[in-house]
C-alpha cells in the first residue's frame, strides 16, 4: 500500500483541473485453488494480484483509470491524464486524510490461507471417492476449492481513509450421472466468510450423496411440460429469481438512468402483500457480507420491500448524484480494474407464515423447483429467464414425478405480484453475481414460495 503522503499526491494530481471528487482505491488479492477430477488433483494454482484504481467525479461525469503498476510516478502520470479528461465546472476541495480505520466482516478461527493444500486435497478426495462408489450411474465427480484473501484501502478527497479485509472460501462439488447418451449433474457450491473451520464442519459426505441423488433422479426423469402453471420455488438458491428479476432492477445502476421498471416507484406496491425483502451486508460470516463498501461507506442492512411496498433502492455515490439521494453503502467491484457501482450483498425474501408442506398441499397442479440454475434479466423490459436444475411435478397437492429441462420465463414486475404464498423456512445460498463492476460474491435466499403462474418452457406438451 502507498503512504498517505503518496496518496495525497495522487489526489492532488487528480483534482488539478475540474473534478469535484477523487478517490484512490488500492487492492491486494491472493488466491489458492485446487481442482479434483474423480479423486485426482488435476489442477493446483496460486495467484497474487495488486493494483490501484483512481476515480474522478465532476457531477455525474466519471473518469476511471487503473493500473497494476503500483509505482508512484506511473500513478501520478495516470492521475494527471485522468484530470485532463474530466469535464467539470470548478475544482473541488481536498479534505485532510483521516487516520486509517480498519474494518473486516471476516469471522475466522482457522486462517484458510495457512492451511496446507494437502489437507484440503484429502478432504475433497475422500468425498469424491465416496460419491464415485455411491451408485453405478455416477460416472464422474469434480471437486474444487478456492480461498481468497483481499485487502483494499479507499482514500478520497472527503477525508475518508479506510481499509477493509476479507477472506472467503468457496467449495464446489459436482457429480455426473450417465445413462446411455444422457448425462445430468447434481451440484453444491457453498461459500463463506468464516475460516477453515467451516470446511471442517461442512457435511460434505452427506452433501455428496444428495448431489448423486439429484443427478440420478434427473438422468431418469422425463422432460418438463410447457405452458403457464403454478410454480413452487424451494428455499435457498430459489432466491436467485428474486435476485435477478427484482434485485437488479432496484440497483441505482438501472434506476438512476430510468432503465428499470421500478424507477419512481418508492412507496408504491410493487409486489404482493406477502412479500418483504432485504439486502443485508451485515450478516456475520456470510459469503456476500462486507463491513466497508468499495467506496469507503459502511455497509447496511437495507429493507427493500415491506409487505409489497418498495422502501429502498441500492444506491452508490454516482447513482446518488443522479438520483439526488444518499448512498446506501452498497458500492462494490470485482477488483481495482472496475469502477465501483451499486450491487447486492445478501439479498433475500423474508420469512412468511406458510408451512412449506401446506404450500405444496394447496397446489393442485404445478411445478416444484427444488434446485435452480442461473438466469438473467433485462431490467428495462423486465424479461427474465431461469433454468431449474432439479424439479418435480405437483399433482393433487402432492410431489409427483421428477422432470428435467425446465426453464422459467416472464416479466419481473409481474412475477412479484403473483407470489401468493411465502413459507417460513428462509435459507441463504452462495453465488457469484456478474454486472457492470465485474463478478462479486453474493448470497441469494428465500423461504419456499409459490408463484401463481409462470410460463414454463419445457419440451413436452401435456
Residue among 190, 222, 285, 374 that touches another protein (CB under 8 A): 374
**Residue 204 dihedral angles phi and psi, to the nearest 5°:** -65, -35
Minimum separation from the CB atom of position 341 to another protein (A): 10
DSSP string, 151-164: EEEEEETTS-EEEE
Single out the segment in contact with another protein by CB under 8 A; choices: 94-102, 361-369, 390-398, 401-409.
401-409
Which residue in 113, 160, 189, 387 binds another protein (CB under 8 A)?
A: 387
Please give the residues from 275 up to 334 whose contact with another protein meets the rule CB under 8 A: none
98, 118, 200, 307: residue in contact with another protein (rule CB under 8 A): 118
CB of 273 to another protein, least distance (A): 25
Give backbone dihedrals phi and psi of 167, rounded to 5 degrees, phi first: -130, 130
- Is residue 98 a contact residue for another protein (CB under 8 A)? no
**Is-contact 392 368, C-beta < 8 A?**
yes
> Which one among 129, 213, 383, 427 touches another protein, defined by CB under 8 A?
383
What span, in angstroms and rounded, lies between the C-alpha atoms of 179 and 365?
A: 29
Q: Does 129 bind another protein (CB under 8 A)?
A: no
Q: Of 409, 418, 424, 427, which lies in the binding site for another protein, with binding defined by CB under 8 A?
A: 409
DSSP helix/strand/coil, 340? coil
All three cell numbers of 270? 410493487
According to the binding rule CB under 8 A, does residue 247 interact with another protein? no
Stretch that binds another protein, among 62-70, 98-106, 272-280, 290-298 (CB under 8 A): 62-70
- The dihedral region occupied by 95, where left means phi > 0, alpha psi between -120 and 50, and beta the remainder, is beta
- Out of 37, 113, 137, 323, the residue judged to bind another protein by CB under 8 A: 37
Interface residue with another protein among 4, 8, 16, 67 (CB under 8 A) is 67
Residue with cell 453405478: 136
Distances (CA, A) of 439 to 131, 142, 185, 284, 386: 30, 23, 24, 21, 19
Stretch that binds another protein, among 100-108, 188-196, 273-281, 452-460 (CB under 8 A): 452-460
Answer yes or no whether residue 82 interacts with another protein by CB under 8 A. Answer: yes
Give helix 117-132 / helix 204-220 axis angle, nearest 10°.
Answer: 40
Closer of 96 and 324 to another protein (Cβ): 324
| Calpha distance 337→215 (Å, rounded) | 38
Site for another protein in 210-229 (CB under 8 A): 224, 226-228
Amino acid at each position: 500500500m502507498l503512504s498517505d503522503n503518496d496518496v495525497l499526491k495522487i489526489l492532488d494530481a487528480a483534482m488539478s483541473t475540474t473534478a469535484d471528487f477523487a478517490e484512490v482505491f488500492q487492492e491486494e488479492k491472493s488466491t489458492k485453488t485446487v481442482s479434483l477430477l474423480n479423486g485426482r488433483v488435476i489442477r493446483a494454482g496460486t495467484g497474487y494480484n495488486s493494483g490501484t484504481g483512481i476515480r474522478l467525479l465532476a457531477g455525474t461525469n466519471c473518469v476511471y483509470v487503473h493500473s497494476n503498476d503500483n509505482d508512484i510516478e506511473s500513478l501520478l502520470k495516470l492521475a494527471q491524464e485522468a484530470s485532463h479528461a474530466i469535464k467539470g465546472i470548478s475544482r473541488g476541495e481536498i479534505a485532510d486524510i483521516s487516520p486509517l480505520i480498519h474494518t473486516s466482516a471476516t469471522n475466522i478461527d482457522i486462517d484458510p490461507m495457512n492451511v496446507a493444500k494437502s489437507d484440503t486435497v484429502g478432504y475433497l478426495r475422500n468425498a469424491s471417492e465416496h460419491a464415485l462408489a455411491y451408485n453405478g450411474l455416477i460416472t464422474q465427480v469434480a471437486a474444487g476449492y478456492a480461498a481468497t484473501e483481499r485487502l483494499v484501502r479507499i482514500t478520497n478527497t472527503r477525508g475518508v481513509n479506510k481499509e477493509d479485509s476479507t477472506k472467503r472460501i468457496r467449495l464446489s462439488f459436482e457429480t455426473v450421472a450417465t445413462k446411455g447418451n444422457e448425462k445430468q449433474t447434481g451440484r453444491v457450491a457453498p461459500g463463506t466468510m468464516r475460516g477453515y473451520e467451516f470446511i471442517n464442519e461442512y457435511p460434505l459426505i452427506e452433501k455428496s450423496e444428495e448431489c448423486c441423488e439429484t443427478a440420478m433422479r434427473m438422468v431418469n426423469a422425463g422432460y418438463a411440460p410447457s405452458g403457464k402453471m403454478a410454480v413452487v420455488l424451494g428455499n435457498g438458491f430459489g432466491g436467485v429469481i428474486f435476485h435477478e428479476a427484482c434485485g437488479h432492477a432496484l440497483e441505482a445502476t438501472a434506476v438512476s438512468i430510468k432503465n428499470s421498471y421500478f424507477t419512481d416507484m418508492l412507496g408504491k406496491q410493487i409486489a404482493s402483500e406477502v412479500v418483504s425483502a432485504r439486502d443485508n451486508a451485515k450478516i456475520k460470516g456470510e459469503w456476500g457480507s462486507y463491513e466497508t463498501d468499495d467506496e469507503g461507506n459502511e455497509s447496511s442492512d437495507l429493507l427493500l420491500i415491506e409487505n409489497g411496498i418498495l422502501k429502498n433502492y441500492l444506491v452508490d455515490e454516482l447513482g446518488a448524484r443522479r438520483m439526488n439521494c444518499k448512498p446506501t453503502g452498497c458500492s462494490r467491484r470485482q477488483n481495482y480494474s472496475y469502477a465501483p457501482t451499486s450491487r447486492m450483498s445478501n439479498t433475500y425474501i423474508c420469512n412468511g407464515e406458510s408451512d412449506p408442506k401446506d404450500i405444496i398441499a394447496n397446489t393442485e397442479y404445478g411445478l416444484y423447483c427444488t434446485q435452480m440454475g442461473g438466469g438473467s434479466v433485462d431490467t428495462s423490459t423486465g424479461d427474465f429467464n431461469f433454468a431449474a436444475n432439479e424439479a418435480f411435478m405437483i399433482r393433487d397437492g402432492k410431489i409427483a414425478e421428477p422432470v428435467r429441462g425446465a426453464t422459467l420465463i416472464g416479466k419481473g414486475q409481474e412475477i412479484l405480484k403473483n407470489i401468493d404464498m411465502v413459507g417460513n423456512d428462509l435459507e441463504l445460498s452462495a453465488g457469484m453475481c456478474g454486472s457492470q463492476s465485474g463478478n462479486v460474491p453474493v448470497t441469494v435466499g428465500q423461504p419456499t414460495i409459490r408463484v401463481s403462474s409462470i410460463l414454463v418452457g419445457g419440451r413436452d406438451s401435456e
